[in-house]
Each structure stands twice: as structure tokens, then as C-alpha cells.
Structure 1
């Protein structure tokens, strides 16, 4: 029996097929091969068409089935991972009303900041574990204020994964974990955060039915099965945001365990067993995939918006079409640590929570035209992203989170030796690379609902470390580079 998982990212859609009996990954497909477009009609805006996600899921499924040559009738479960914090709006016929306002869109920052003050910071932090900030609820308030006629047509509000599940099953549903990432969940009252929806004037009947993260969340309809090339009746058994899902995929499920990823955005994600609050809201806490009121598992998330997207931009601007990321890594090997004084601040992808929702833009500092080559720019870009991770991890450490060992997947920036050793050396931590992806994790998670695995711990107990990064020496050289970069950032923030 087989399990299929989808990872609905802002760059691409990935699909993975897993053998439920052995846990072995049989194939992974991605569509498109290049990054999907992000619509940005105004500064700080970022939108995508949800219908395109669905169409690309079809292409990814087609590629996967062709690669694996299996009987689609033997697939027994579907799992969905998705980009967090997006807002999808549908009418009563389940038609999308407007492009999705996605995670890196900054338009609702002031709405969230103002409500944080008006409701009261203490109350928000106690009940939401966060400021309403630039999260999904605040984005919905922006729509209500700026597109009132469209707002009146809304039947249900959803996160990106909820929308994909809707297209699969015809049923609008969501989860506690999903609602918590959108600031719709009240941890104190163990229910929808009505104090916030009332403050925003949002009707709670817009929120879909709440189902457990691991459960039979609806069956694949005949129309959806025909569209995807699958068999109708397959249960959708799991959905979760990409960062909780990534952590689960790395077997990060219990207190003291840490995961990280370096995709379009960069994330460090740790698990604790009690409410975790940063009164400056630089890091955020959400219900983890295995959260219950009785046995709380809270995911503490540090996000850097300007991560992989900056390195991708650098490649597009400076490299020819024939130059791969591996080629860039080889070129970097000719450049010394700290890039001969060239420094890059990567915060150019919207408001940064780690900077208290400030949007500083990206900065390239100390260019020397007679010394700096493309290779210097590539190394400075990776170092700048690594430094932004380190900046955030220092905040997490100051709040009491242990980061001695970090687990990462093998499909993102952590494949870069320069990036990973910079982080490991400055933080003096070990980075364990696990052979998995978000789509594989989502597939295995569907096996829990299908009773193939009894618990998440059982599903992910056999994750294997394929590589590890540790401090490479020259720690003072690395740390001096970070301190200069940090000083640059602090000047920009003044």
C-alpha cells in the first residue's frame, strides 16, 4: 500500500510517494522546476493564484506516477503540507474570490500592531501566544476594510492547505494547528479566538469545520481523482503548515528538539511543552502537529523571510542560465571566510518578524569594484542568510530554548557546506541532515490516519542522519564576520 504527500510551497508544488509498509520513499516530483511567480502590484504585497497551486499539483502528480509506475488504486492516504499564514477566500460555490495573500505579504502589519495595543498586549500574548501581527486574521481584516463588497461574498476562509483539501474532497475544513498559525485559536479558552474576531468584526461562521490534524478529513472526489490521475475515495488524512510538518518529518515532536529549513524563507523551529511567549513578538508560538490541550506541544518558530529567495535572486541577476547552485558553491570555495569584506543584509522580502515587523529591505555593503567578483557575492549572500539565522537563534537562546543539535532536511540551503558550516561554527552546534522532504513527511503522516502507523513517533522513528556539520575551526574569524554584519544591521534598524 502506498501513501502520497503534497507540499504546497510558494516556489513549487512537490509530490512524494511512500511505501507504507517499509517507509521507503519511492519517488519525488516537483512542478514547476523553476520558482512560481509571486504577484506584487504594490510594495510589500505578495499574492499567488490558488488555482495555479491546484493545477501544478496535477502536473506534479502526473510526473510522480509516471516515475513510479504504480497502480494508483493502491494509494491509501493523502497528506498535505502547505505554506503557512496565507489567506484563501472562497464563495458558496467554492470559487476563489481573489488571489491568496501569502505569508511574505506585509500589508496587514499596522492592522495587527494597532489591535495588539487596543486589545492589550498581555491578553493577546496570554491567549494567542503572539501579537495578531501580520498573520492571517489581520490579512482578513485588511480585506474587510479595503474590499468590503468582496468580503460580503466570502463563504469560508482557508489556509493554502485547506484550499487544496477542499479541491480534493469538496469539503471545507481546517485544524487547530492551522487556526493557531492564523491567530484564530485561543489557547486559554481552547476554542476559536472570539475576542479577536469580534475586535476585527469578523463572523466566526467563516471559519471551516475543525478536524484533528491526523484524521479522515474527507475522501478524494471523482472529479478531483480524474483531474489528478488518482482513484476516487482515497482519504485525505493529514494537513499542516510547512514548518510544523518539516519538524515532524525530521522527528522533531517533543520538548528540546529543534528543526530548521532554508527554503524561500528560513526557519528555526523548536518544540516546548508549555506556552512560550516573546513579549517583543520576534519569535512566534503555534500549536504543533501533535498538540492537545492535555498534552501541549508548542512549536516556537523563528522566521527569516529573506533567505533562499535572496540567493535565488542573486543567481538570476549574476549567473548565466547554465550555472547551477552546485556550480556557485564550487566558485565560492575560492573565496575566504567573510567574503573579503563584502556584506549582504538579506531582509528584502517584506516585513521581518525577527526585526519586530520592520521592513528594512536588502542591503549590499562595502562593495570594492577592483576586488569583488561574482564568487564574492555568492559567498556574501550565503553568509548574510546564515548570519540572519544566527541573529534569530541568539534571541531564542535568550528566551530559554536549547539549540545544541539542529535537524535539517536535504532539500534546501543546508545542502550548502558554506551556509551550514557558518551556522554550526558560530553557534557551536551540530547540524544533522536527514534524508527527507516535506512532501515525504506529509505522505507518512497520512499513514497515521490510515492506521498504518499508530503515532507520529512510530511513523518517523527510523529517520536517518546522512550527513552532519560541526564547527570547522577558525571560530573567531567566523564570529568576527558575524559581529561586523550585526553592527551593520543595528545601524540600519536605528
Structure 2
């Protein structure tokens, strides 16, 4: 029995076909080879074309089919993971109205802050568990305010994964988890927030049909079956944001369990059973994939916008003359602390953990007679690790104290140097797993289709590859304190 997983990333779209019985990957592919374009029409803006996501998904699926390892018609269920917080708008004929305003776009901060002030801090934090900040609801309000003629044509708003499901099935649905990440969900009334809808002047008809994460979200229609080779009627049975999906993939489902990623952005994601919130909304709480009204499972999310994106920028700065592996090897030859060179990795939009400030990326204390590109490589990875430490300290102050963090062996977690800096600056061991968002989405579809009786069964074969424990925390602590002092000077 075959399952199809689709991961709508910021950098590329990945597709995997997974054998349900063994949980083994039959074939995977991604597209494009180079990282996808983010359009910035103004400073602090970030947009992508949803049609680009769709076309890249088709290209990636074609690559999978070209392997001749499976028949597309044998796929029995489809799951979708997607970059969180993006806004996609369509008219009544499901025509796309504009490019998506994606997760790292900062244009709506003032509109979110306005809702926070007017509705009241206590109400927003106790009911929404977040400030409306820079999330999907505020992005929708920006369109309403600044593009009124376009807004008048909007039939439904969606998250990125909802759009891909719509393209497959011609049906538009969402979930409590998706609405909570958009800051539309009232956790006290367990319903869409009437106060937020009224404040922004949104019509309830804009909201798609709400279904569980693990449920049928439509069936592949005949035109798409002809285009893709999928069997008409194949159900989409799972949709989740990339970070809840990553946590699911790492079997992080119960209170106290914690996952991390360090791709384009950096995330620590912990599970709680409490309707808790950060008083400053620097970390955010959403409904996890297994959230129900009777068994509350909340995902507490720390997001750092510029982690892998900074590492990529650094690589591109040297005209791609070095590979990531070469960068890592060169950085390992430099002393801890990069001989005084410090980097603040905050150049990819407003940072929620810094109260939605646009701090920017900073390279500080450069000594022209001492520092080389190898120093830059090390300082970048240390600066990223220190930003994780900073955010984890916020999470600790709100009661989340992980004994271990699970991560996929991918992106920055492929770097021994980054792992060393991460565990020794945070003081928390890391368990590494073979982990992939598209594979997690595929297995999620198996849960939604009833092929697996529970999430634990779907990920029963997940095994730890490596445990990295802190060994030299005393060497990193003074360097972190210097980094923290530098950050505090940006206030």
C-alpha cells in the first residue's frame, strides 16, 4: 500500500512515495534544484507564487515516476505538509488572486499589534494564546486595507497546504491547527474567534470548511488524475504545517517532548497539554496535529527566521566556490568564539522572539588582519546556535524544560560544528533521526486514511541515529554572554 507525501517548503518542494507496511521510502525527489525565489517588492516583504509551488510539485512527482519504482495509480492516500502562516487568496472560481504573502513577510506587524492593543493583551493571550502579530489574520487584514478591490473578489483564504489540496481535489478545507497558526482560533470557546473576526471586519464565509488534521480533505478529481497518473478519487487525508508535521515525523506528540529544525528558518517545537502562552508572545502556541477538545495537545513554537538562510547567504557570498561540507570543515579549524568575530543572524524579516523587531543581520568585531572566511563560517554557525539558546531560555521561562531535543539529520544538523555549538550553548542533548517532511506527510496520510490505528504505529520504525551530549558548556558560555550583550545593544 503506497502513500504520497508532499512538503511545500520555502526553498523547494519535496515529494516522497512511502510503503505503508514497512514505512520505507520507495522514492523521493525535490524541485527545483536551486532554491526557489522569494520576491521582496519592498524591504521586509516576502512573497511566493502558489502556482510555482504547484508546478514544482508536479515536476518533483514526475521525477519520482521516472524512477519506475511504483505506479501512480497504486497510491492510496496523500498527505501535505507546508510552510506555515502564508496567505493564499482565491475567488469563487478558485482562481488565484495574488502571490502568497509568506511566513517571513513583515508588512502586517502594525495591524497585528493594533488588534493586540484593541482586543486587549489579556484577551488575546488567554483566548488566542498569541498576539495576532504578523500571522495570517493580520496579513489578510493588510490585503483588506491596502488592496480593497482585490479583497472584494476573495471567496476563500487558505494556508499554503490548503491551496495544494485544492489544486488536487477542487475542494477547499482547513483545520483547527491551521486556523490556530493563523490566529483565528479561540482556545477557550473552541471556535473561530468572533472578536478577531469582528475587529478586522472579516466575513465568516471567507473561512474554508473546518476538518480534523487526520481526515479526508477531498479526492483527486478526474482532470488531475489524467495530469498526474494518480487514480481519480484518491483521498487527501492529512494536512499540517511544516513544524507540527516535523514533530509528528519525530514522534513528538506528548507533553514534554521537543523537536527542532534548522532549515531556512530555525525552530524549537515543544508539546504541552496546557493552554499556556508567553506574556510577550515571543514564542507561540498552536493546536498540534493531535489536538482535540477533550485531549489538548499544544505545540509551543520558537521560530528564528534566518538560520539556514544565513548559512546559504554566506555560501553565496563566496560565489558558491565552497560546498557546505567544505564550509563546515574550514570552520572546525577555528577556535571557539571565532577569535572575537560575532554574528547576529536576524536578517530575514521581523523576529517574533525579539518582539517583532527588524534587527537585521550583523557581523561584529571584524579584525581585518586576523579574520578569514573560515572565521566567518564559524561565527555564522555559532551565532545561529546562540539564537536557539536565546529562544530556548524564553521557552524555559514559560515552563518548557526539555531533557532532550529530537531533530532530523539534515540541513545545519548535518554540521558537527553546529551540533557542538547547539548542545553546548543550550546544555541540552540532541537525538538525531532520519527525518523528512514529505515522508512524515505520507505517513500522516496513512493515519488519516485509517491505515494506521494511531500516530505511534505510523512511526514505530523511527530509530535514533546518534545522540550528541554537551561536553564543553563552560567553553561556550562566555562566548554566548558576549553575543547576548551584543544583541542587547540593538534595543
- TM, length-normalised to structure 2: 0.98
Aligned partners of 2:379 and 2:432: how far apart in 1?
23
- Post-superposition CA distance 1:359-405 (Å, at most 9, x none): 11110101111111111111111111110000000111111101220
- Post-superposition CA distance 1:248-267 (Å, at most 9, x none): 10000000100000011100
Contact 1:344 1:363 in 2 (8 A): yes
Q: Which residue of 2 aligns with 1:485?
A: 483
Aligned partners of 1:461 and 1:253: how far apart in 2?
13
- Higher alpha-carbon deviation: 420-429 or 153-162: 420-429
SS at match of 1:346: strand
Q: Which runs of 4+ in 1 moved over 4 A?
A: none
Residues 72-471 of structure 1: pairs in structure 2 closer than 5 A:
72-318=72-318, 320-471=319-470
SS at match of 1:157: strand
Residues 55-70 of structure 1: pairs in structure 2 closer than 5 A:
55-67=55-67, 69-70=69-70
SS at match of 1:15: strand
Aligned partners of 2:282 and 2:61: how far apart in 1?
37
Contact 1:58 1:227 in 2 (8 A): no
Q: Which runs of 5+ in 1 are unaligned?
A: none
Structure 1 residue 439 displacement after superposition: 0.6
SS at match of 2:432: strand
Q: Confirm whether residue 476 of structure 1 aligns to residue 474 of structure 2.
A: yes
Aligned partners of 1:290 and 1:68: how far apart in 2?
35
Q: Which residue of 1 aligns with 2:40?
A: 40
Instruction: Sort the Cα spacing of 1:327 and 1:225 in 2 relative to 1 into closer, same or farther, 3 A.
Output: farther
Q: Confirm whether residue 15 of structure 1 aligns to residue 15 of structure 2.
A: yes
Structure 1 residue 411 displacement after superposition: 2.2
Q: Which runs of 5+ in 2 are unaligned?
A: none
- Post-superposition CA distance 1:413-467 (Å, at most 9, x none): 1111111111111222210011111110000010012221011121112211112
Instruction: Sort the Cα spacing of 1:130 and 1:476 in 2 relative to 1 into closer, same or farther, 3 A.
Output: same
- Post-superposition CA distance 1:155-211 (Å, at most 9, x none): 100000000000000001101000000011111111111110110001111000011
- How many residue pairs get aligned? The number is 491
- Aligned-residue CA RMSD in angstroms? 1.0
- Post-superposition CA distance 1:84-130 (Å, at most 9, x none): 00000001111110110000000010111111011111111111011
Contact 2:346 2:359 in 1 (8 A): yes
Contact 1:21 1:452 in 2 (8 A): no
Aligned partners of 1:186 and 1:246: how far apart in 2?
24
Contact 2:385 2:425 in 1 (8 A): no
SS at match of 2:92: coil
SS at match of 1:362: strand
SS at match of 1:492: coil
- TM, length-normalised to structure 1: 0.98
Structure 1 residue 67 displacement after superposition: 2.7
Contact 2:23 2:443 in 1 (8 A): yes
